[in-house]
Structure 1
Amino acid sequence: MFKNILKFTVAAGLALGLTACTSDEKKEDTTAKVEPKKTVIKVGATPVPHAEILEVIKPLLKEKGYDLEIVEFTDYVTPNIAVDEGELDANFFQHTPYLTEFNANKNTDLVKTVGVHLEPMGLYSKKITSLDELEDGATIAVPNDPTNESRALDILVKQGLLKFKDVAFKTALDVTENPKNIQLRELDAPQLPRVLDEVDAAIINTNYALAADLNPTKDAIVIESKDSPYVNIVAVKKGNENKDYIKALDAALNSEEVKQFIKEKYKGSIVEAF
């Protein structure tokens, strides 16, 4: 009898020991899965106006316990790749049609969180002051990425200068009617302000126009309508859109402080979209 009691006691002790170890292990596992609170938000942006707008929200995010690190880019590809690979938490430079096309072509998985502002595209020239002065065979430079080129060509369509096939993204190859024999020169968007001396006109994204000291409301011969769908957005990797730090970033970018800054700084050349 005593031997049986002893066996039972030893077995029970071993069982309790194993249970305690398992319990401790579970606690350790649970603790290991707790992520430390994020305190730095890294956002990629083109310099004007995106980085300027982001500077405005640094104090707002600081109040919420976050430091904002702004990483500037001068192209439209690298900031998306950086977000997709986790080097950036978010970026702020593009519109939804561009993001959709980029995801499809680059196999990335980025999503929009909030819209912030609209940058109306404009047609600029150092040789003419109105479209009536545009001569037969004139050269017009346009962005060469699919969404922005199609967007630029829509401006020429609305002015009655060109007609195109019914395609998702217009290019120079899709022209069906060209009464003034306009020559389209497709270039990387950042280059467009630099070729104004070489072409008759160029259709330039507002961020690059502003960086070249061109004011859309004063210097553009033709400007894109304010009801354009090309609102500039915040983009993040899918799955991160509901993270606390992204919610804080979105709220700051859709704040009254940003709205007032856009109105006072850009005076209609950029308009808030929230």
Structure 2
Amino acid sequence: MHRTLAIIGATALAATAACGAPSERAAEDGGSGGDATITVGATPLPHADVLSYIQENLAAEAGLNIEVTEFTDYNQPNAALVEGSLDANYFQTRPFLDDFLEGNPDADLAYLDDVHLEAFGLYSEKVDDLADLEDGAQIGVPGDAANMGRALKLLEDEGLITLAGDAGDNPSDADIEDNPQGLEIVPTEAAQLPRSLPDLDAAAVNGNYAIEADLSSSAEALAFEGTEDNPYANGLVVRSEDADDEAVATLNELLHSDEVKQYMEEQWDGVVIPVGGAQE
């Protein structure tokens, strides 16, 4: 049977929640030619691209059929997973999920394994060196708690600010203890930061949005976060009750396959870095 990757907009989410885990549904109705269908929410780049590669090259042999719902922001995929419109999502870091669960204590979601790290960078269209940032420069950072913390840590690593010692994994601008240049921190919706660059002196941008906006050709990269012991890898998230589902396990294994790692390295050299997983 011909298998295709279904890509639909977030506004076209199914009105009724999925019933049961993917493997249970496949056993009940025979699935797609016997394959288990798993619906995954993802941001377009690199996540949906990676899932598309798996669907086109690896899924059929593994007995899996992947349907992808694309989201262009970080606010909807967890809610859709909780309500049952998705079987899994692939877009977020552990700190981001922790922050979501703290604000939504009834949500029972599980982060399975790190899959890849997107290099989080500080970009500018106005200067080509950190030393050229003037006092009072406006620095855009993501407005959500987890990604703001990541951006502020990057600024701290580059010696631009100092954060409170007890700021934790998700510091906010209120945790800035020292700001010798009087930089103005400008919280902005993460997806809007590349478009906001002309109005800012610099912005800390998530790797997926930097790829989508092709910032490597339109802006200077002033700094990148370090990759060693970096807690901000992206991974597969499911409802806790489905964490041991066979289809979920199969998708997780494919995400960590040598073929997918090679695809990431060739497609996004140095920006999307494969990490983690049960195979390591």
TM-score, normalised to structure 1's length? 0.84
Any idea what SS the aligned residue of 1:56 has?
helix
Q: Could you tell me how far apart the structure 1 residues matched to 2:30 and 2:270 are?
A: 39
Q: Which runs of 5+ in 2 are unaligned?
A: 1-26
Following the alignment from structure 2 to structure 1, what is the Cα–Cα distance between the partners of residues 162 and 197?
Answer: 24
Q: Which residue of 2 is the match for residue 97 of structure 1?
A: 95
Cross-structure match for 1:51: 48
Residue of structure 2 in register with 1:234 after alignment = 236
For residues 242 and 236 of structure 1, the distance between their equivalents in structure 2, rounded to whole angstroms, comes to: 10
Q: Please tell me whether the aligned partners of residues 128 and 220 of structure 2 are also in contact (alpha carbons under 8 angstroms).
A: no
Which residue is 1:26 aligned to? none
Q: 1:248 is aligned with what amino acid? A: T
Residue 83 of structure 1: CA displacement? 0.9
Which residue type is aligned with residue 63 of structure 1?
E
Residue pairs, 1:109-258, within 5 angstroms: 109-165=108-164, 166-168=166-168, 169-215=170-216, 219-227=220-228, 228-258=230-260
Q: Deviations over 1:188-208 (max 9, x none)?
A: 100100000000000000000
Q: CA deviation at 1:67?
A: 1.5
Query: Per-residue deviation at 1:37?
Result: 5.0
Distance (whole Å) between structure 2 residues aligned to residue 205 and residue 63 of structure 1: 33
Give the Cα–Cα distance (whole angstroms) in 2 for the partners of residues 260 and 245 of structure 1. 23
Rg larger in structure: 1
**In structure 2, the residue corresponding to 1:226 is in which secondary structure?**
coil
Determine the C-alpha separation between the residues in 2 that align with 1:257 and 1:163: 41
State the one-letter code of the partner of 1:265. Q
Say which of 82, 85, 97 aligns to 1:84.
82
Instruction: Kindly state the Cα deviation for residue 64 of structure 1 after the two structures are TM-superposed.
Output: 2.6
SS of residue paired to 1:221 = strand
Range with bigger deviation, 72-81 or 121-130: 72-81
Deviations 1:33-55 (A, max 9, x none): x7445531100000000011111
Higher helix share: 1
Return closer, same or farther for 1:110/1:37 CA change in 2, 3 Å cut-off.
Answer: farther
Q: Contact (CA 8 Å) 1:140, 1:182: kept in 2 or not?
A: yes
Name the amino acid aligned to 2:143: N
SS at match of 1:220: strand
C-alpha displacement at 1:161, in angstroms?
1.1
Conserved in 2, the CA contact under 8 Å of 1:215 and 1:269? no
Q: Per the alignment, in what secondary structure is the counterpart of residue 264 of structure 1?
A: helix
**What is the correspondence of 1:66-85 to structure 2 with a 5 Å cutoff?**
66-85=64-83
The one-letter code of the counterpart of 1:125 is S
C-alpha distance in 1, partners of 2:250/2:232?
24
Aligned residue pairs total: 240
**Cross-structure match for 1:269:** 271
Q: Percent same amino acid among aligned pairs?
A: 41
After superposition, the C-alpha distances for 1:119-175 in whole angstroms (9 at most, x for unaligned) are: 110000000000110001100000011111011001111111111222223222222
Q: Which moved more, 1:134-143 or 1:172-181?
A: 172-181
Structure 2 Cα separation of the partners of residues 241 and 150 of structure 1: 28
- Give CA-to-partner distance per residue, 1:222-247, whole Å, 9 cap, x none: 00101111110000001101111101
Tell me which residue corresponds to 1:5: none
Q: Does structure 1 retain, via aligned residues, the 8 Å contact 2:119–2:225?
A: yes
Distance 1:215 1:245 in 2: 37
- SS across alignment from 2:139: strand
Query: What are the Cα deviations for residues 70-106 of structure 1, in whole angstroms up to 9, with x where unaligned?
Result: 1100111211111111110100000111111111112
